[in-house]
């Protein structure tokens, strides 16, 4: 086993690969791109599908076949950098993470083979249909309660604050086994983690975020110790059970690190998916009405949302050896930015790729959950949860409408996208 730290703090980018075209203007953090990445991403895909993005220090890849080639060749394109800050962090923030007991290890998205496969063999058991389905009554009840509260306060409401933000955290915390009384504390600790690994936080924000990460890791370790002493019917207890039965194959530190990573992966993108579903569907009244009339159409509609307005529009890799991609030579150590937004709108992958069609037959071919050995372990979970939420909303709020479509701008970062506020009205 070769263990590496969960978050690696890197220095500046390596030199531009010789012969690689350079884009001096593109930035995934620019206001125009954050507001609507698709026209910019598509234009770059058509002119320079493999291009060095100067603002990031990454080589950006945007055609579906090239993105797929990267995902499917983990020996050449390592995922070691996917949880690291995009830009170097300050010495003060690094000092917080240098605490001797801050020692989560790379376990899933950022762990390499063969260890990744060894660990994934255990974690995939945690996402059984049985365990996921036990959540349905809880998701329905909480979605209804949150809608009740929103209705009682009357329109307009911020749908993100009312439902899309609180619910997915609560659901994944119940799944893992965190007690309800810690929900708010956990949400606070996870807040801005997105900015740490995928955004460009200010020096002060970096210290706040790393302080939260340290507190959260300490909490996870204490929580795991409690579950070890007193197991329950939850993911954490099941995972600890795998360690106890196979202590030489799955280490206790790996168990703690899986819990650390899952709580973030398990709710932030679902919040964004629910928000993106409403941003995409509410202005299209025909599509919305079709779903109100026949909620069995929801899974297909959600798949189109995941393609057309993905909660995850970029991901990363780094080359492990000299290689060539799309005719461009890349030396070992080249950071790669996979532009999933561009790939999901690639005309070679989808007919009329910019059109939003809730009955698109092949929307499921989207690349939003990745592909290959690291394919999102929570894809089934995310689809299941979002489906139930949408069913509840269609049933309870058939007249729901956007109150102000200018107030939906997402938080600037290189990977995740969805409204940070969503003013809605009804009745």
Would you tell me which residues interact with ligand HEM (CB under 6 A)? 71, 79, 108-109, 120, 172, 262, 265-266, 269-270, 273, 311-312, 315, 368-370, 372, 374-378, 381-382
Instruction: Give the nearer residue to ligand HEM in terms of CB position, either 189 or 369.
Output: 369
For ligand HEM, the nearest residue by Cβ is: 378
Instruction: Give the nearer residue to ligand HEM in terms of CB position, either 140 or 155.
Output: 140
* Cβ at position 415, least distance to ligand HEM in Å: 8
* Cβ at position 175, least distance to ligand HEM in Å: 7
Instruction: Give the nearer residue to ligand HEM in terms of CB position, either 41 or 270.
Output: 270
Instruction: Give the nearer residue to ligand HEM in terms of CB position, either 17 or 266.
Output: 266
* Cβ at position 423, least distance to ligand HEM in Å: 23
Instruction: Give the nearer residue to ligand HEM in terms of CB position, either 41 or 96.
Output: 41
* Cβ at position 198, least distance to ligand HEM in Å: 12
Instruction: Give the nearer residue to ligand HEM in terms of CB position, either 93 or 259.
Output: 259
Three-class secondary structure assignment of the chain: CCCCECCCCCCCCCCCCCCCCEECCCCCCCHHHHHCHHHHHHHHHHHCCEEEECCCCEEEECCHHHHHHHHCCCCCEECCCCCCCCCCCCHHHHHHHCCCCCCCECCCCCCCCCHHHHHHHHHHHHCCHHHHHCCHHHHHHHHHHHHHHHHHHCCCEEHHHHHHCHHHHHHHHHHHCCCHHHHHHHHHHHCCHHHHHHCCCCHHHHHHHHHHHHHHHHHHHHHHHHHHHCCCCCHHHHHHHHHHHCCCCCCHHHHHHHHHHHHHHCCHHHHHHHHHHHHHHCCCHHHHHHHHHCHHHHHHHHHHHHHHCCCECEEEEEECCCEEECCEEECCCCEEEEEHHHHHCCCCCCCCCCCCCCCCCCHHHCCCCCCHHHCCCCHHHHHHHHHHHHHHHHHHCCCCEECCCCCCCCCCCCCECCCCCCEEECC
* Cβ at position 255, least distance to ligand HEM in Å: 14
Instruction: Give the nearer residue to ligand HEM in terms of CB position, either 93 or 194.
Output: 194
Instruction: Give the nearer residue to ligand HEM in terms of CB position, either 15 or 372.
Output: 372
* Cβ at position 169, least distance to ligand HEM in Å: 11
* Cβ at position 100, least distance to ligand HEM in Å: 27
* Cβ at position 318, least distance to ligand HEM in Å: 12
């Amino acid at each position: 086993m070769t263990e590496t730290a969960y978050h690696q703090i890197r220095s500046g980018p390596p030199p531009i690969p010789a012969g690689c075209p350079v884009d001096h203007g593109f930035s995934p953090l620019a206001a125009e791109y954050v507001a609507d990445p698709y026209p910019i991403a598509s234009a770059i895909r058509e002119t320079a599908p493999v291009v060095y993005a100067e603002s990031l220090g990454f080589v950006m890849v945007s055609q579906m076949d090239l993105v797929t080639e990267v995902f499917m060749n983990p020996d050449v394109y390592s995922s070691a950098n996917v949880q690291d800050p995009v830009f170097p962090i300050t010495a003060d923030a690094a000092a917080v993470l240098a605490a001797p007991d801050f020692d989560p290890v790379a376990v899933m998205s950022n762990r390499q083979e063969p260890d990744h496969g060894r660990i994934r063999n255990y974690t995939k058991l945690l996402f059984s249909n049985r365990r996921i389905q036990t959540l349905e009554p809880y998701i329905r009840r909480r979605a209804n309660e949150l809608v009740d509260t929103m209705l009682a306060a009357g329109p307009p409401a911020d749908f993100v604050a009312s439902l899309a933000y609180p619910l997915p955290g609560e659901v994944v915390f119940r799944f893992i086994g965190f007690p309800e009384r810690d929900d708010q504390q956990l949400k606070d600790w996870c807040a801005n983690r997105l900015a740490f690994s995928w955004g460009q936080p200010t020096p002060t924000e970096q210290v706040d975020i790393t302080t939260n990460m340290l507190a959260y890791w300490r909490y996870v370790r204490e929580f795991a110790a409690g579950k070890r002493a007193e197991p329950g019917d939850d993911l954490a207890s099941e995972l600890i059970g795998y360690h106890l039965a196979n202590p030489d194959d799955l280490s206790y530190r790996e168990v703690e690190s899986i819990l650390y990573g899952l709580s973030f992966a398990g709710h932030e993108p679902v919040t964004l998916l629910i928000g993106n579903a409403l941003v995409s569907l509410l202005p299209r009244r025909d599509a919305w009405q079709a779903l109100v009339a026949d909620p069995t159409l929801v899974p297909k509609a959600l798949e189109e949302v995941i393609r057309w307005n993905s909660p995850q529009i970029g991901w990363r890799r780094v080359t492990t050896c000299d290689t060539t991609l799309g005719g461009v030579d890349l030396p070992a150590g080249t950071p790669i930015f996979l532009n999933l937004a561009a790939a999901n709108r690639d005309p070679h992958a989808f007919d009329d790729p910019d059109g939003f069609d809730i009955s698109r037959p092949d929307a499921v071919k989207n690349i939003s959950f990745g592909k290959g050995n690291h394919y999102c372990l929570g894809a089934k979970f995310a689809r299941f949860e979002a489906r139930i939420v949408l069913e509840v909303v269609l049933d309870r709020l058939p007249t729901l409408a956007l109150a102000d479509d200018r107030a939906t701008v997402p938080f600037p970062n290189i990977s995740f996208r969805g409204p940070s506020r969503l003013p809605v009205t009804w009745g």
